[in-house]
Amino acid sequence: MVTCSPFWPPQSQDWSKSDERLLQAVEQNEPDKVLALIVKKGLCPTKLDAEGKSAFHLSVSRGRLDCLEVIISHGADISVTDGAGFSALHLAAKNGQSECLKRLLQERMAVDCTDSIGRTPLHLAGSSYRIKV
């Protein structure tokens, strides 16, 4: 299991080509490649790039459930926020990714967390759907 703390595994905080490949693997929904990069390269899927996004947050935002499963199963800290202060739960709710939302809730994520301006995931879920009259 790969744990993503600031101290273990020892890693550079600089963004590398391998980190970029991990983002691309999530974007292209390639869970086997995500697994290989995490295990063989020791990459941390919660590491933020210069824009404040990570492979973990991208998997939730884009609904890449299989990639999310790989990331969770390898010990990623699912409570970390992205560069904008959004938790994974916020991103799943905001982007209407109900399957990722369910999976995160199975990990007993705090549902009362707030983003940088005080919105809960429920606020974002409600604002992302338009009601037609």
The predicted pLDDT at position 106 comes to: 85
The whole-angstrom separation of Cα 44 and Cα 5 is 9
Query: Would you give per-residue pLDDT tens digits along the chain (133 residues)?
Result: 444 544 333 344 689 999 999 999 999 999 999 999 999 999 999 999 999 999 999 999 999 999 999 999 999 998 899 999 999 988 998 999 999 988 998 886 655 566 666 666 655 555 555 434 3
The predicted pLDDT at position 44 comes to: 94
Hey, where are the domains in the chain? 17-127
CATH number at 17-127: 1.25.40.20
Q: In which element (H, E) is residue 71 found?
A: helix 65-73
Residues 6+ apart with CB under 8 A from 86: 57, 94, 115
Q: Which of 33, 93, 106 is nearest to 67 (CA)?
A: 33
